[in-house]
């Protein structure tokens, strides 16, 4: 392999997040350069953040040397993929394993986007103060420098699991339900922010009993104008009476008012009407980036849709996948149907795999996402919205004020899943674990170290951290309270998914 190594910076489309993360990106790059030089390599940098797909094509396309992308904050998948697809030169994605900015989220998303287009690559990460002194990291980096790839332990990857007769029976009931009536997924736009891995399309969806119907997001603006003010006021009274704590006018959020929430309720009611018009079962909601300067963020609306306790509700959730991610929408809808057959609460949470650390001898992930986590996670009571907080979405990302749908997730047994595409085939990752209650001081340190305005879940995913970092094929994960693991494995297999279980001790 060539001694020369190109280092590049995938970026956010928006300038401000790139500026915020620049100190971490520079420090990480310096660490990486020192590590490469220690291994006898000659690193050089591709200048500037790659903020658009054409910049990736223009700047990475001519690079034939081995290349390393640095991930310390959120970056768009195409800002790497479009510059390296169609080539076979060694490619490495490197992260500083920090929760300050969602760099790990970007690494996992970009890796799964590369997998979607069959582009070979490897991943590496460390949280060491001095990368050159992290023996494990240096060993992996040396392996990549020598061979162009890194091999990871696969002992926690399993391709089958024992299924009880009871679980198989429930899965069979859901399968018959899907065959009797296809799932209608209402897609409000395509996937957002460059998540190539989040869009499957009709060719693959039709094979598993799903149909997508795309609706232009401009309808949210047009249809919203005709939502009766009385409906908005009734919805506003509902969420206040049901216990949502709104942090209007808080420090740093003076422009966040009750009118902001009313506008988010207007969006919620607009989507509710669209769901009714098209007979939709579930929703994929793009929102970003085009609506950023036009409407408040969709988070509060999405949180309500994912809750049984909601204005003009019918006692059921309408599964809503933020950022129109079909890789989460599919398992969320399947898990919802299994939960209902089991007599369990039908809520399924949508999260980012944001960051993690050890607590009392076990590794816990901080699952954190700005939308699509329902109220059940915060109260385990389908009749109330208590425990739900609405903070202003950070102004640097969202110029028009609007609130989040946040809270601390309660402890309990859980099952998680994610759908993805590999070699043109549908796969489903499935696992089981535990949502853990942290001591307040630890919880607050972790929460404040990420994004405090977003819903928080501390979770043991039932496998080692390195298994997730090396093999997991998304930045997103669907989480349901309760053990529906066997049912999810059986149903996924019956639908034609290739199933991969991530678990210790099987």
pLDDT band for 370, please (50, 70, 90 cuts): confident
2: nearest Cα among 28, 49, 34, 36: 36
Does residue 495 lie within any of the structural domains?
A: yes
One domain, residues 333 and 410: yes
471: nearest Cα among 194, 145, 121, 184: 121
Question: Residues 459, 365: contact at Cβ < 8 Å?
Answer: yes
DSSP string, 97-151: --SSSSHHHHHHHHHHHHHHTT---EEEE---SSGGG-HHHHHHHHHHHHHS---
d(CA 406, CA 389): 5
What's the pTM? Answer: 0.97
Please report, for the chain, how many H helices and E strands are present, in that order: 16, 19
Mode of pairing for the β-strands spanning 282-285 and 183-188: parallel
One domain, residues 431 and 328: yes
Question: Residues 73, 25: contact at Cβ < 8 Å?
Answer: yes
**Residue 191, pLDDT above cutoff 80:** no
One domain, residues 360 and 481: yes
**Residue 194, pLDDT above cutoff 90:** no
**Each residue's pLDDT tens digit, 305-345:** 999 999 999 999 999 999 999 999 999 999 999 999 999 99
pLDDT band for 472, please (50, 70, 90 cuts): very high
One domain, residues 298 and 228: yes
One domain, residues 478 and 375: yes
Does residue 100 lie within any of the structural domains?
A: yes
One domain, residues 464 and 413: yes
**Residue 405, pLDDT above cutoff 80:** yes
Instruction: Work out the number of other CB atoms within 10 angstroms of the CB of residue 496.
Output: 13
Average pLDDT over residues 98-111: 95
Query: What are the two backbone dihedrals, phi and then psi, of residue 210, each rounded to the nearest 5 degrees?
Result: -115, 145
d(CA 284, CA 277): 16
pLDDT at 184: 98
One domain, residues 217 and 304: yes
Beta-bridge mates of residue 417: 430, 478
User: For residue 229, what is the domain's CATH number?
Assistant: 3.20.14.10
Tokens coding 53: 């797909």
One domain, residues 292 and 209: yes
Range of the domain at 113: 4-147
Does residue 158 lie within any of the structural domains?
A: no
Does residue 160 lie within any of the structural domains?
A: no
**Each residue's pLDDT tens digit, 210-229:** 999 999 999 999 999 999 99
Residues 6+ positions from 416 with CB-CB distance below 8 Å = 430, 431, 432, 433, 459, 461, 477, 478, 479, 480
Does residue 154 lie within any of the structural domains?
A: no
Does residue 340 lie within any of the structural domains?
A: yes
The last residue of a domain, from among 82, 116, 147: 147
**Each residue's pLDDT tens digit, 3-12:** 999 999 999 9
**Residue 371, pLDDT above cutoff 80:** no
Tokens coding 218: 């401009």
pLDDT at 414: 98
One domain, residues 178 and 63: no
User: For residue 19, what is the domain's CATH number?
Assistant: 3.40.50.10940
**Residue 244, pLDDT above cutoff 90:** yes
Question: By CB neighbour count within 10 A (0-12 exposed, 13-18 middle, 19+ buried), where does 493 fall?
Answer: middle
pLDDT at 290: 86
Does residue 126 lie within any of the structural domains?
A: yes
One domain, residues 210 and 81: no
pLDDT at 148: 97
Does residue 153 lie within any of the structural domains?
A: no
Strand spans (E) along 119-271: 122-125, 157-158, 183-188, 210-215, 245-246
Mode of pairing for the β-strands spanning 412-422 and 476-481: antiparallel
Sign of CA dihedral 85, 138, 367, 455: negative
Query: What are the two backbone dihedrals, phi and then psi, of residue 8, each rounded to the nearest 5 degrees?
Result: -130, 160
Bond into 64 cis (ω within 30): no
Number of independent structural domains in the chain: 2
Average pLDDT over residues 348-363: 96
**Each residue's pLDDT tens digit, 6-55:** 999 999 999 999 999 999 999 999 999 999 999 999 999 999 999 999 99
Average pLDDT over residues 103-115: 96
One domain, residues 43 and 133: yes
Question: Residues 460, 363: contact at Cβ < 8 Å?
Answer: yes
> How far from chain centre, in Å, is Cα 13?
18
One domain, residues 316 and 177: yes
| Percentage of the chain exceeding pLDDT 90 | 96
Residues 6+ positions from 488 with CB-CB distance below 8 Å = 171, 331, 334, 335, 338, 415, 417, 428, 430
pLDDT at 506: 78
pLDDT at 63: 97
pLDDT at 230: 98
pLDDT at 466: 97
The last residue of a domain, from among 87, 121, 147: 147
**Residue 427, pLDDT above cutoff 90:** yes
The last residue of a domain, from among 147, 179, 208: 147
**Residue 289, pLDDT above cutoff 90:** no
Q: Mean pLDDT in the chain?
A: 96
């Amino acid at each position: 392999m060539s001694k020369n190594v190109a280092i590049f910076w995938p970026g956010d489309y928006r300038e401000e997040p790139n500026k915020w993360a620049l100190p971490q990106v520079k420090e990480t790059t310096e660490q990486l350069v020192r590590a490469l030089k220690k291994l006898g390599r000659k690193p050089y940098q591709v200048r500037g953040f790659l903020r658009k797909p054409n910049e990736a094509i223009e700047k990475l396309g001519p690079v034939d040397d081995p290349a390393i992308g640095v991930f310390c904050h959120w970056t768009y998948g195409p800002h790497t993929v479009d510059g390296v697809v169609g080539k076979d030169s060694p490619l490495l994605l490197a992260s500083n394993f920090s929760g300050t900015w969602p760099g790990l989220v970007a690494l996992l998303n970009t890796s799964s986007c590369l997998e979607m287009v069959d582009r070979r690559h490897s991943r590496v990460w460390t949280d060491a103060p001095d990368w050159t002194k992290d023996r494990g990291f240096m060993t992996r980096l040396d392996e990549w420098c020598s061979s162009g790839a890194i091999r990871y332990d696969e002992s926690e990857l399993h391709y089958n699991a024992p299924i009880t007769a009871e679980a198989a029976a429930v899965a069979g009931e859901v399968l018959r339900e899907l065959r009797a009536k296809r799932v209608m997924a209402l897609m409000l736009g395509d996937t957002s922010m460059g998540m190539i891995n989040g869009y499957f399309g009709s060719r693959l969806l039709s094979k598993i009993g799903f149909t997508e119907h795309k609706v232009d997001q401009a309808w949210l603006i047009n249809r919203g104008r005709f939502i009766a003010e009385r409906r908005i006021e009734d919805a506003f009274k509902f969420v206040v009476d049901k216990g949502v704590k709104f942090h209007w006018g808080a420090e740093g959020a003076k422009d966040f008012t009750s009118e902001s929430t009313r506008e988010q309720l207007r969006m919620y009611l607009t989507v509710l009407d669209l769901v009714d018009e098209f007979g939709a079962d579930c929703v994929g909601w793009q929102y970003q980036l085009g609506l950023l300067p036009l409407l408040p963020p969709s988070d509060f609306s999405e949180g309500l849709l994912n809750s049984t306790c909601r204005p003009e509700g019918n006692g059921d959730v309408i599964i809503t996948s933020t950022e129109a991610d079909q890789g989460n929408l599919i398992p969320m809808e399947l898990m919802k149907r299994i939960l209902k057959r089991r007599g369990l609460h039908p809520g399924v949470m949508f999260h980012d795999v944001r960051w993690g650390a050890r607590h009392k001898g076990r590794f816990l992930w901080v699952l954190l996402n700005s939308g699509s986590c329902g109220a059940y996670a915060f109260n385990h009571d389908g009749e109330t919205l208590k425990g739900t907080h609405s903070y202003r979405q950070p102004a640097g990302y969202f110029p028009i004020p609007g609130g989040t749908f946040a809270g601390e997730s309660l402890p309990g047994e859980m099952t998680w899943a994610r759908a993805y595409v590999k070699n043109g085939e549908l796969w489903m990752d499935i696992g089981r674990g535990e949502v853990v209650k942290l001591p307040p001081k630890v919880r607050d340190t972790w929460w404040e170290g990420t994004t405090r305005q977003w819903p928080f879940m501390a979770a043991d995913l039932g496998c080692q951290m390195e298994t997730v970092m090396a093999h997991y094929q998304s930045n997103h994960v669907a989480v349901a309270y309760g053990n529906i693991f066997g049912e999810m494995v059986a149903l996924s297999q019956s639908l034609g998914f290739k199933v991969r279980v991530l678990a210790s001790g099987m």
